[in-house]
Every structure is written in structure tokens, then in C-alpha cells.
Amino acid sequence: MAEESLPSQNANQPRLKLDTLVRLRWLAVAGQTAAVVIVRFWLDFPMPLGFCLGAIALSAWLNLFLKIRYPSSLRLKGRTAALLLAYDVLQLSALLYLTGGLQNPFSILLIVPVMVSATTLDPRLTIALGALVLAAVSVLAVFHLPLPWTGEPISLPLTYVAGVWVALVSGVFFMGNYAFRVAEESRQLAEALAATELVLAREQHLSALDGLAAAAAHELGTPLATIALVTKELQRELPPDSPYAEDVALLRSQSARCRDILSKLTSLSTQTDQHLDRLPISHLIAEVVEPHQGTGVRIEVRLVGKSGPEPVGRRNPAVMYGVGNLLENAVDFAESLVEVSAVWTEDSVSLVIADDGPGFAPDVIDHIGEPYVTTRAPSGVEGEERAGGLGLGFFIAKTLLERSHARVELSNRLSPAHGAIVRIDWPRHAMDREAIKEAAAAEAREREEKGRRPLAAS
């Protein structure tokens, strides 16, 4: 019964609560006891009372053991629940063997464990339980004690027993399949609702971050301007050969970069659909790569057009920020090389960012993209401190890219190589949609002008 001794079940499969099985078995114990007592003492039909009550008592003792040994809130793994349901099938089969086999009208109750399994357990376990019921009814059709009856024992025709067998087998199949379908539809609906709630929560979180970004840009504007002014004065005062000249120049350039980043953040929600500039995929990559040149990490860009012209869309600050954030993350953790590859066909556009760093940690790779989940442990010299973040960068980048109909996938390089791989896939119609609309409008205007020229000349 220890759950740790059983193989793990599919994480998406719901688990049956132990208390549910215990309550159902108590109901069965009460019903079986009442039926045996009424048949024996009220109807006065001869029957093996001791064996029947012994089988019922075994179920009662099992329930007491489970109640004392395990908490009622315990949720059973698949095989454990299937074993308990299999016991119920065998216990009821034993009672039916003692009381007439398939001639006993209570034989219909053999369907119940299969229906319980179909609503909660893996289909393979339900099929196995159905096979056990099929074997039980096949044995009970031939081997059983006489049906309790006054006078000469009743022996129903074999044709009738065969009909009961067919009815039970059909009931197991159809009712089990129906219960599984209904439960599966309910599970899918629940998963869809959960996914919708997650998307809404992420959108609300991103909207809140938009406001925080605007507030941060406003609050940091004055100190950044002061830093820029002071560094400018220092740069003017220091001689060119001063050992601090290079550090002051770096400080000034980084303060300017901070102001640019804050300006982009505040413009994401207002400029996404207002820029009319055409931006080929190669220019998009060049713009996001340019700020990271000269950082000590080599960035290699590769463009592969398998079919069709190069994708050309409108400048989208949200897409540029998302790709730029992922590239910056790769540069931060790379040892010496970051590869940026763009591949397009007539149907899709793919952008792959790969680095030679430590890669994504296995314990967080499935959760990256959620708020406040950091990506990778910093690499570098042991003991060296590196500025950390809240884990919002990847969340914002992923959400912005998904708004543009992109799909973001994460993986690590296969051993013995090391490093992280981020793959961004767009449908071609989504990445090139605005350019196609613009070209179609230009062509329509050109045709309209050509149609008007003869009239103007006349």
C-alpha cells in the first residue's frame, strides 16, 4: 500500500481519493449484509451464511485497516487504486459464487468498479480491470453454487445465463467507455479553463509591469540625467591618459543605454502598431545584436532562406525587446560565443539563439517564463558576484513574443556540448503579415493611378 513503492503515474491524471473508495466499500458492506440477512432470515432461503458473512467481514476489516493506517485525504496512485478496485471485483465474485453465480440478479454490480476506474484512472488500468471482470463473469457462468431458493434448487437455462454474460460484458464495455469519455471531457474542460486563467493572469501581470516600467522610467530619469552630467564633466576634466578615463567613458555609455532601455519600455504599449517602417529579419537581428558588440563575446549571425524571399514586416518594439532580452541573456551567460540563426520558408520563420554557457538548470527549465523564476545560475570565476534579477525579463520577453503569435521553446545542447538554445517560431503569415498588406495596398494604389492617367491626359 505504500505509494513510494509504486511507479509514478502520469502527472496530468487525477488521483482517486482513498476516502472515496472507503465510503463506497462501506456502502457495499451494508448492502451485502442486508441482502444476506433478508434472504436467509426473512425469505428463509438456505445459503452458506458463514462463508457469505466471512467475505463481507473481510471487506469491513480492510476498510478499518485503511482508515487507521492512512489519512482519509490520501490520494492514491493509479496502480494502488486499481488493486483496491480489483479486490472489490474478487470479493463480489466470491459472494456471487456462493449465491448462484450469474443467476443472481446482483451480478450487475460487477460493472461498478469498472465505472469508478473509468472516471479517474488511466485507460490501461481500466482495461485491465475490465479484463478481470470479464474473466470473473466467465467463470461464474459455469462454476457456482445453487441460487438460494426454497424447495428444489432453480437451474436457469444455459441460454439465459449466456444472455446475462453478454449483457454484463456489453455493460462493462459501453458504460466504462461512456464514463471515461465524460470524465475525459470534464478534465479537458478543466485544463482549458486553467490555461485560460493562466493566460489572463500573465496578461494582467504584464499590464501591471507596463505601469511599473513607466513609473520607473519617470523616477529614474532624473538620477540618470545627473549621472550622465557628472560623467560628462569628469570626462572633460580627466586627461586622455588617465587610468580612470576608460572607466568614466564606460559609465557614461552605460547610463545612456539605461535611458534608452527605459524609453523602449515605456513605448512598448503605445508604439507597437504605430511604426510604419519596414524591417527585414536581417535588420531586426542587426539592431538587437549591435548593443552587445564589444562585450568580449563573439556573436555569429547566420541567415538561411530555404524558400521564399526574406521576411519583411513592420517594426515592432515588442518583438525587438523580446528578442533583444533573450540575446542579452545568452550573452550574459556565454563563455565566448553566441550563435544567432534565422531560417525561413514559405510557411514559417524561425530564430534560434544558442550560446556556449552552462545551459538551463534542469530543475527550472520547465518553469522558465513564469514570473519571478530566474533562468540560470551565473557562470564565471568562483566567488565572483554578478548582479541578479527577479526573473521577470524572460517572462516579459516570452509574453511579448507570444503576443506576436510566436512559439518560444527552450532546450540545452546535447552532451558533450554545453549551452542553452532558445528557439522562436512564427508562422510566415504572422511575421510577414503587415508587409504583405502594405505591398497589396501599394499595388492597388499603383493600379488606381494607372487607371486615372489616360483620363488626366485627355
The residue among 68, 66, 71, 98 whose CA lies nearest residue 83 is: 66
* The predicted structure's pLDDT at residue 340: 93
* The predicted structure's pLDDT at residue 8: 38
What percent of the chain is predicted at pLDDT more than 70?
76
* The predicted structure's pLDDT at residue 57: 92
Separation between Cα atoms, residue 391 and residue 413, nearest integer Å: 22
Could you please report the per-residue DSSP string of 67-134?
Answer: HHHS-TT-EE-HHHHHHHHHHHHHHHHHHHHHTTGGGSGGGGGGHHHHHHHHHHS-HHHHHHHHHHHH
Q: pLDDT grade, residue 424 (50/70/90)?
A: very high
Beta bridge partners of 300: 339
Task: Render pLDDT for 359-417 as a digit per residue (tens, 0 to 9).
Answer: 888 877 777 766 656 655 444 433 333 434 445 677 778 888 888 888 888 888 888 88
* The predicted structure's pLDDT at residue 254: 82
* The predicted structure's pLDDT at residue 394: 79
Task: Render pLDDT for 324-361 as a digit per residue (tens, 0 to 9).
Answer: 889 988 898 899 999 999 999 888 899 999 999 888 88
The residue among 334, 363, 348 whose CA lies nearest residue 422 is: 334
pLDDT greater than 90 at residue 61: yes
* The predicted structure's pLDDT at residue 58: 92
* The predicted structure's pLDDT at residue 194: 67
* The predicted structure's pLDDT at residue 268: 54
Dump strand ranges (E) for 142-297: 278-280
Give yes or no for a contact between 47 and 153, defined as CB atoms under 8 angstroms apart: no
What's the rounded mean pLDDT across residues 426-452? Answer: 68
pLDDT greater than 50 at residue 458: no
* The predicted structure's pLDDT at residue 203: 63
Q: pLDDT grade, residue 310 (50/70/90)?
A: confident
pLDDT greater than 70 at residue 138: yes
* The predicted structure's pLDDT at residue 196: 60
* The predicted structure's pLDDT at residue 198: 66
Query: Mean pLDDT score of the chain, rounded to an integer?
Result: 78
Residue 17's CB is within 10 A of a number of other CB atoms, namely: 16
Q: Which residue has the higher pLDDT, 229 or 13?
A: 229
Q: pLDDT grade, residue 281 (50/70/90)?
A: confident
